[in-house]
Amino acid sequence: MEEIKTTAPNVNPEITRKDFLWTAWAAFATFAASSAVAMGRFMLPNVLYESPQIFKAGKPEDYPVGVSTRWMKEQRVWIVRAENSLYALWGRCTHLGCTPNWFDAEKRFKCPCHGSNFTMQGDVIAGPAPKPLNRCAVTLLPTGEILVDKSIVETRPGLREKKQFQISLDHA
């Protein structure tokens, strides 16, 4: 019988100079490309897209007397209608910026995080909040629509009842 010699292929072939240079150039090209991408990304601005600070909230007739949570999800604003006036409260606790919830049965806003409680007017009645909820500037447009501007806010009693932060519905 004849013996058949089988030889295993060379598992660790020696790396030739040509293979080494190709590998080195490929690694350098990968490094250069990733550096260029990182530099390009650095040059582009990091933009945070938020909802606009000014928005139209419909007409006063759209809101019954009480607190409307219609704009809370989109704009973080409550529209509050009293008998003869309408104003907008920004849904941000003045303690640490949490979002309070409106409890219609108790007629108050309650912060779920630290327990601050606010009246329908935004005044603090309990908790660690140092000042009332912010009122946003509101305007009644010639079309009869309410324009809410969250970039202009006021918390101080007396000033927050001025025309800029409250729409009188006696003439509307």
Query: Hey, CA dihedral for 112, 132, 136, 49, is it positive or negative?
Result: negative
pLDDT of residue 67: 92
- Asked if residue 8 has pLDDT above 70, the reply is no
Residue bearing the bigger pLDDT, 172 or 24: 24
Which alpha helices (H) appear in 44-164, and where do they start and end?
72-75
Tens of pLDDT, residue by residue over 32-48, are: 999 999 999 888 888 87
User: What is the β-pairing status of strands 146-154 and 167-168?
Assistant: unpaired
**Separation in Å, CA 142 to CA 28, 51, 159:** 65, 24, 24
**pTM above the 0.75 mark?**
no
- In tens, the pLDDT along 100-134 reads 999 989 999 998 888 889 998 889 998 898 989 99
Q: Identify any residues that bridge with 110 across adjacent strands, giving them in sequence order.
A: 101, 117
Residue 85 tokens read as: 């006036």
For residue 80, which of 123, 126, 50 has the smallest C-alpha distance?
123
CATH topology of domain 54-168: Rieske Iron-sulfur Protein (2.102.10)
CA distances from 95 to 71, 76, 116, 133, 149 (A): 22, 16, 8, 10, 22
Report helix, strand and coil shares of the chain as percent, to nearest 5.
Answer: 20, 25, 50
Residue 170 has pLDDT above 80, yes or no: no
Domain residue spans of the chain: 54-168
CA separation, residue 138 to residues 47, 84, 154 (Å): 28, 15, 11
> Of 158, 111, 155, nearest to 131 (Cα)?
155
> Alpha carbon 60 to chain centroid distance?
26
